[in-house]
A = this chain, B = another copy of it.
Amino acid sequence: MIHALLLAAAAPAAAPAAPQAAPAAVLPSDPSPADWVAISDDQLLVFTLASGKTVTVRLADGYAPVHVANIRKLAAARWWDAGTSVYRLQDNYVAQWGDATEKKPLAAGVVANPAPEYDHAGPTAVARLGRRDPYAEWAGYSRDGWPLAGIGKREWLPHCYGMVGVGRDMAPSTGSGAELYTVIGHGPRALDRNIAVVGRVIDGIEWLSSLPRGTGDLGFYMTPAEYSPIVSARLASELPPATRPHFQYRATSNPRFAAWIVSRENRSPPFFTVPAGGADICNAMPPVRRTP
């Protein structure tokens, strides 16, 4: 049974929306039902590709409010519904989407280059990893299920797999939010504090990460025929109630989550025989799931 068991215990426990088998016994790291908290409909932005597949982003309105307000205005104006696509796939780096021609006017009220929203006052984390982060003094979790990293009195959302950032030109440009990317490889943490992070793909990232890699510089597709068109972007709050997706984050300020952190830092037998004693934030992303 090599292949059925292979790496079984190593499977990421925090995979969004993965079906969860009933545990044989309640572990200290298991959430209680009340630990799952609904994500509000206006924090969920659903992109639909021409293939019909959807990619759902949880918006980090508390962390990059002006950029997220732009993104909501673009969705409300149906800006993404025509002439936009996934136009860049750089292996072990990012998938990027928006208007490849760069000629489409922004929607009314969208700020072209907001002030930087790369970090904010802190620390506000309610739980932390045990070891120092290589890119910060600490890494941990917000009360409402976001990963954080921080130095001194500042903290920020780290560039981990699935996190969504705002494409921009050279500094001092910060980008409007019309061009977005998500991480599809090892977390490029050098981007932390240099780009506005506005959310996290919590469902459907495989429809981006499995696209063919672009063969131009930096993974841009060489021809428009290679683009994956986007047909719409909607906040869940804009969708008919019957078709709205529902997701939950796991609360982080309780002893069960503290035990979960320790379990991520020390993976257990029978598959693992040597626990690491530590983890980095991108391998211990806060759990999110589709509402059962």
Chain A contacts to B: CB under 8 angstroms: 1-12, 15, 87-94, 96, 100, 102, 118, 129, 131-135, 160-162, 167-171, 173, 175, 179, 181, 184-194, 205-206, 209-213, 218, 220, 264, 267, 269-274, 276-280, 282-283
Contacts and interface: CB of A to CB of B under 8 A. Distances in A.
A93 B185 contact: no
24 contacts: A2-B173, A2-B175, A6-B96, A7-B167, A9-B170, A10-B188, A10-B190, A11-B90, A15-B92, A89-B210, A91-B205, A92-B162, A135-B277, A171-B271, A171-B272, A184-B185, A185-B185, A186-B283, A187-B283, A188-B283, A189-B276, A192-B276, A194-B273, A210-B210
Nearest to A101: B3
Nearest to A183: B186
Given A170-B5, A210-B211, A11 B218 contact: yes
Contact of A169 (B1, B276, B280): B1
Nearest to A19: B217
Nearest to A219: B11
A137 to B, nearest CB: 10
A270 B12 contact: no
Contacts of A87: 3
B2 A218 contact: no
Contacts of A212: 206, 210
A277 B9 CA distance: 34
A273 B210 contact: no
Nearest to A162: B92
A93 B278 CA distance: 19
B6 A179 contact: yes
Given A6-B169, A169-B2, A280 B134 contact: yes
B220 A276 contact: no
Given A186-B282, A283-B188, A270 B170 contact: yes
A169 to B, nearest CB: 5
A287 to B, nearest CB: 14
Contacts of A1: 102, 169
